[in-house]
Structure 1
Amino acid sequence: MEIRRDIYLEKLISKKNNGLIKVVTGVRRCGKSYLLFNLFSDHLKEEKVRADHIIEMAFDSFENRKYRDPEVLYPYLMEKIQDEQMYYVLLDEVQLLDDFESVLNSLVRKKNVDVYVTGSNAKFLSKDIITEFRGRGDEVHMYPLTFAEYMSVYPGDKNDAWRDYVIYGGLPLIFSFNTSDQKADFLKSLFKETYISDIIGRNKVRNKVELEELLNILSSAIGSLTNPSKLSATYKSVKNKTISQTTIKRYIDYLCDSFLIDSAIRYDVKGKKYIDTPAKYYFTDLGLRNARLNFRQVEETHAMENIIFNELKVRGFNVDVGVIPINEKDKNGKNIRKQLEIDFVCNKGSKRYYIQSVFAMPDAAKKQQEQRSLLLTGDGFKKIIITKDVLAPLYNEEGVLVMSVFDFLLDLDSLEK
């Protein structure tokens, strides 16, 4: 079964032969290797690139362990390059290659070598692109399957697909399993044996229990505003143990660096400034999040918000949490200052959208509550409410676009309509 990943394939094709190192990053098992060795390699062959001019190396394979040594790999690659025609070098899990920065910089200096690499760790790749590649790196960040990609191979209707997607997420390998138990066991094992072990080993975490408890707390609170201080207090109340804010921040950095979670920080729409804390955290894949909680806490409301956040990131938006400060009177007539929230302030170039994720709007009161902050932004950017209710996209009397989550997810141009 082939799952098309056209968003990322088109990005790679557009960057072909640009003289930079194309770096495909993303959480483990999201499909980076398949993108490189299947979809992109097939594209090269369709473009009549000879097979001996496509050089592939997966560093996480047992048979390729010796090539993790640059003194072995580099001569091997040079031996493969026999003429002046363009060679395409595809390297998978390149963070396992010792001194990979020097090897890649040497390769990219050759006029007839186009380099593509994948990696699963931000510390070894995204940050070093700037410091080590000195402008020679060109990143393509990959996510698990979007709902549209998931639907393209799902053997059922969108409602059944949504139910499974909310529970088991979008890692492509989920389609290798037929039963609910098989999918759940796969995700739980993957989380424990791959993600946790990888994070602990790479960062030399001494207290595994602390990290796992923090993961449980973050998993239970997706889409909720929090910060190291609140998390430390929660840890104290739940486990009756103390964990410092500094340690929590370090652990969160580890989770972000492994692409397991992502954050949205607050942005004061009126004051046009960022508020660093608290922030919201979302899981890159809901299936992994649910597996962490043993599938005991699958709330569709929070899941929908997480899915919308990931979709916006896939579409290339910078995504913040909007804050609208207001003054109003309490029941005693006293002035009080409050902050209204906009779930997502989405920016890309000159475009901006304000979006609320609302699972259901059963009445006019709920509608007014949800769109109040949108109507107080004081600017002309598009305001959108995304709801689970099945309806055709429409503009209400206040000029707010209301659309179903299916219309949003299944149409890449949905925000433009």
Structure 2
Amino acid sequence: MDKKSIFKQIIKEFHERKLPETYDRELIIPATKKIISLVGSRRSGKTFYFYTIIKQLRDSIEPEQILYVNFEDDRILPLSVHELDLLIEAYFELYPRNTQKTMYLFFDEIQSIHGWEVFVRRLHDTLDASIYVTGSSSKLLSKEIATSLRGRTLSFHLHPLSFREYLKFKGIGLEKDFEYTQQRYTVKQQFEEYMKWGGFPEIALEDETLRQPILKNYYEMFIYKDLVERFSIRNINLLKMLSRYLLTNISSPFSINSYFNTIKGNTSVGKETLAEYVSYLEDINLIYLIPIFSHSLKSQQVNPRKVYCIDTGLRGAVAFLFSKDLGKAAENIVFIELKRRNYEVNYWRGAKEVDFIADDGKGRLQAINVSYTDELDPRETDGLKEFAQSNDAQLLLLTRDTEKEEDGIKFLPLWKWILVKR
């Protein structure tokens, strides 16, 4: 069968197919004339997010105005950029009456096709169409999408599930004022599960006995598909050792110099290679490194950065852990939630420390410490008070159960901070 006929078959299959069950996510993409780029790690739910949008569109327009193609479909591979025109020809031959109607184009993993951006830019410039593309970390990074589409795109990041989304996936709807009802006990129990297993959608729905092997498989895909294949990495053992070290030491300061001094007796690797590998791990969002809060660029550059990871469940499945390590997991969850809320995030160190300085982009700061323990250490409040002596910020201490306000500091249970909008 020729490529155009295969495209016709794929198009008709999609229009006749019932989409799988989906769950609403918190990410909202506004109406725009720009190309929408949906980026994020593998297995974070990008394809199902597309399905949710498509279901909503089907309620308001003719379903045939929607074109969805997964460019990893083996029936059309290999595919060159010149053959992409056959897709549009196939569509209009099937639906000639739609040449004067708005099209909604969903291109999943189109980044697999070399030169795809020229094709998408031309469609954007010549058709009456809303265009959506995914940006898988293994094929294309969000910063590369922006460059490739030359100002025609808006990128949106889809993280693994927030705790609110996690509850929805588990079939738990929050009652009004649930924090004052018996339901809060269920919520708190689920939050402990969320800290342990993380927020990848498949994990939330999977039997507990299968979660750890699935997460380990995710990690292998991150290493081999997103890193080794993409960046032609040769020293796979070093990459695994480095990534596991970083995942183990979330919420701790990290510097390449210190790590190099630790391992140099056992390997011939140079600091430049280490720096490259760390940047690759950041590029695919497996880890995040946040700088110290300072108005001095030099201070940010010379101080170590604190490391966090994409998901506590993934970390728990592959890191070197000897205890539950709830404190680090809780801090990591707060970091990802701040990222999800589009805060710029730093840490701060004086005589004491503050876990997060969160800037909302409007000049308003929050100084946040996380203490997920039964007894609060005075240093948690001391750090906040020290920061407030020279900075105007809301002071927040996120706890396991304590809720009060004292000395200008708001104490709030972590699960409540995440779920109760203020």
Scaled by the length of structure 1, the TM-score of the pair is 0.85
Alpha-carbon distance change, 176 to 80 in structure 1, aligned in 2, over 3 angstroms: same
Structure 1 residues 237-267: Cα deviation after superposition (integer angstroms, max 9, x where no partner): 7xx2243221111011111111211221111
Which residue among 9, 16, 33 is the counterpart of 2:47?
A: 33
Q: Is the 8 A contact 1:129 1:136 kept in 2?
A: no
Give yes or no for the alignment of 1:207 onto 2:235: yes
Once structures 1 and 2 are overlaid, which stretch shifts more, 195-204 or 213-222? 195-204
SS of structure 2 residue aligned to 1:44: helix
Give 2:116's aligned residue.
100
Give yes or no for the alignment of 1:285 onto 2:311: yes
SS of structure 1 residue aligned to 2:105: strand
Which residue among 273, 279, 287 is the counterpart of 1:247?
A: 273
SS of structure 2 residue aligned to 1:342: strand
Aligned amino acid, residue 73 of structure 2: S
Alpha-carbon distance change, 297 to 29 in structure 1, aligned in 2, over 3 angstroms: farther
CA distance, structure 2, for counterparts of residue 174 and residue 409 of structure 1: 20
Q: Give 1:28 shift.
A: 0.3
Give 1:159's aligned residue.
188
CA distance, structure 1, for counterparts of residue 324 and residue 264 of structure 2: 25
Q: Is the 8 A contact 1:355 1:386 kept in 2?
A: yes
Report 1:6-405 matches (<5 A).
6-8=25-27, 10-11=28-29, 14=30, 16=31, 18-36=32-50, 38-46=51-59, 48-66=60-78, 68-81=79-92, 82=96, 83-121=99-137, 124-154=140-170, 157-180=186-209, 182-236=210-264, 240-268=266-294, 275-276=300-301, 277-293=303-319, 296=322, 298-324=324-350, 339-350=351-362, 351-360=364-373, 362=375, 365-366=378-379, 368-379=381-392, 381-388=393-400, 390-392=401-403, 394-396=404-406, 398-405=407-414
SS of structure 1 residue aligned to 2:126: coil
Q: Give 1:43 shift.
A: 1.3
Q: Give 1:170 shift.
A: 0.8
Aligned amino acid, residue 378 of structure 1: N
CA distance, structure 1, for counterparts of residue 278 and residue 102 of structure 2: 42
Structure 1 residues 183-221: Cα deviation after superposition (integer angstroms, max 9, x where no partner): 111111221145434310110001111101101211121
Q: Give 1:229 shift.
A: 0.6
Percent identity, please: 24
CA distance, structure 1, for counterparts of residue 171 and residue 77 of structure 2: 39
CA distance, structure 1, for counterparts of residue 76 and residue 405 of structure 2: 57
Q: Is the 8 A contact 2:216 2:317 kept in 1?
A: yes
Q: Is the 8 A contact 1:23 1:137 kept in 2?
A: yes
CA distance, structure 1, for counterparts of residue 370 and residue 82 of structure 2: 53
SS of structure 1 residue aligned to 2:253: coil
Structure 1 residues 25-78: Cα deviation after superposition (integer angstroms, max 9, x where no partner): 000000000001x211011112x2211111001122323424x42222222124
SS of structure 2 residue aligned to 1:22: strand
Structure 1 residues 263-321: Cα deviation after superposition (integer angstroms, max 9, x where no partner): 2111126x687612411121111111122227655410000000000001011111111
CA RMSD of aligned residues (A): 2.4
Q: Is the 8 A contact 1:374 1:383 kept in 2?
A: no
Aligned amino acid, residue 52 of structure 2: L
Alpha-carbon distance change, 2 to 311 in structure 1, aligned in 2, over 3 angstroms: farther
Scaled by the length of structure 2, the TM-score of the pair is 0.84
Once structures 1 and 2 are overlaid, which stretch shifts more, 219-228 or 117-126? 117-126
SS of structure 2 residue aligned to 1:145: coil
Give 1:332's aligned residue.
none
Q: Is the 8 A contact 2:248 2:321 kept in 1?
A: no
Question: Which consecutive residues of structure 1, in runs of 5 or more, have no partner in the other structure?
Answer: 325-338
Once structures 1 and 2 are overlaid, which stretch shifts more, 204-213 or 194-203? 194-203
SS of structure 1 residue aligned to 2:196: helix
Structure with greater proportional strand content: 1
Give 1:4's aligned residue.
23
Q: Is the 8 A contact 1:260 1:283 kept in 2?
A: yes
Structure 1 residues 140-178: Cα deviation after superposition (integer angstroms, max 9, x where no partner): 011000111112233672233222222221110113421
Q: Give 1:402 shift.
A: 1.2
Q: Give 1:122 shift.
A: 8.0
Structure 1 residues 86-112: Cα deviation after superposition (integer angstroms, max 9, x where no partner): 101101122212211111111111241
